[in-house]
Structure 1
Amino acid sequence: MLDGLKNKLRKFLGLEAKPDAEDDEAKAKLKQEIKSEVEAQSKPAEEAKKAADAAAEEEAKKQAESSEQISKESSTQEVEKVADKPKIGYIHMSGCTGDGMSLTENYDILSTLLTDMVDIVYGTTLVDLWEMPEMDLALVEGSVCLQDEHSVKELMEVREKSGLVCAFGSCAMTGCFTRYARGGQLAQPKHESFVPISDLIKVDCAIPGCPASPEIIAKVVVALINGDMDYLQPMLDMAACNLACGCDLQTNVVSKALCTGCGTCVLACPTRALEMIEGRPSHNKNRCIKCGACTTHCPRTWFPAEQIKKDLGL
């Protein structure tokens, strides 16, 4: 009965009645044609998506390489190969070798620094030499022990044979924690007096920190090679600095109403000897190792107060 009604309906609509098998076959064929058409239309879209993804990946790779190159160039300040490379020496006195370790952490530019920019001509653990050669720059790490005759003589020789002497790290600059030595220690019981190298020789510049950060070390060496006096001026001012602790920060900055409460000194302290109380740094003498990090990192330490007074006629 249903088949008859279907045929009558087709006839009424002007359609030729077809057997069910033929109808199913036509539907299957139409379905296959639609599927083929959809696949044909989607294939270019998929190819376009793959091409776009590949282009985006290539662009990201280029940007990463560009960023890495820019970082390297900014670290070296676009220094070209130096024909007559400066001769640098590394001298180790009384310290933990932390600053030397920081130097090696400049692994991204260290090869460029050593290959294209400078020659390491002397170093206790770097170069096998019996005698100290002439040097353009000497990096002296560690304080000097007054009871160690060899160290005192070596330091004098460094000054004699070097164009510039740099106090490399806080031990060389201020004496740092070696200031607390009183003798009687197991290894060298007679070594009881440790002083910054500026107490014995003229120092041209200083790199602060316990230890000094890898970035500052690299930038100071590059600035010395390029003669960038604007960048080096704070390091030159610290050359004769042999007392640097939280007390100096209180005297030279806070008590002069120069402190802005930024907290840079607190963040710079490696022993947490400073904390911010009511917007101002408070110093804990029992924790202070006299490394000078707080003073040297404080932006107001280098505030030109004297020049301002002069301009105001005070």
Structure 2
Amino acid sequence: MAVDRPRRQLTLDEVAELAGVSRSVASRVLNNAPHVSRAKREAVERAVREHGYVPNPRARALATRQTGAAALVISGENPSVFADPFFAQVIVGATGALEEADLNLMLCLAASDRGRKRVEQLLRSKGVDGVMLMALREDDPLAGMAQEAEIPVVCGGRPIGPKPRWFVDVDNVGGAREATEHLIAAGRTRVATICGRLDTEVGRARHQGYRDAMLAAGLEPLPPAEGDFTEPSGADAMASLLKNEPGIDGVFAANDNMGAGALRTLRQARRLVPADVAVIGFDDLAVAQITDPPLTTVHQPIRALGQEMARMLIALIDGGDPTPLILPTHLVTRSTT
């Protein structure tokens, strides 16, 4: 008596062969990715229907991925960066999106020669299925490595110089301009800025937004006091501003950590906020709600930044060609303005 044996499940390669398309095209159709002609899409869908191919997430991962991991690489060498509330939220957002696609997250720091060599080896050996890069600085070797990589790379923010093909960023110029316009609309005429590192795109973009708003209002932009996005650097920059520009009545700090530092210095200098000096930050981190007084700030969707970076990377790994994305910002008014 003959026994019916279970029908063997088709592989992705066999579906592609039956449809007369490449394996990558078949993968894009099954993942509902764009940039596939109607004829090829219909051929793949017909092969799936007629031969009973049933994809599942784990089988798809095995078919299109090699390691089951993606890396988040930050151009820095201090491990405490991962405890920074900004990067912590990015990690939460990225991890959630990667888990949905059965991908694990690897964290890497790469500012020292040793760190960069480790990342270079990771890219060349294809030790992960894709990479997300953040905090790139001017002439950062990581940007060149990313361009030469044979695996998908997504940038969080845009490096200075040639723009990457795939990136997720926020509207840094627009957010900084809105913050400065808010100070000007409140009657502040001597508005200064504590800018971030000017060897980073985010530092330059937020400084540009400040300058745009000042010039549009017919006001002279003041020389920036540069910080490194940390609270102590914001305190030091604020002290420098008070020394060089004692008449300032408004300050735009390029992130909340520096804004918190500025408030500390103003309190020590017995300058009332906002009566004497109004202050606005950027990011809308938890620290902005617990400063004294609570900090007006520009909200950026940090967790969504990590999430969208991961989603873009997943689309690339699965054969898609996603579009670069710029996320919106908006002002959150509290007690410092």
| TM-score normalised by length of structure 1 | 0.29
- Which one scores higher on RCO, CA 8 angstroms, separation ≥ 6? 2
| TM-score normalised by length of structure 2 | 0.28
The structure whose residues are more often helix, as a share, is 1
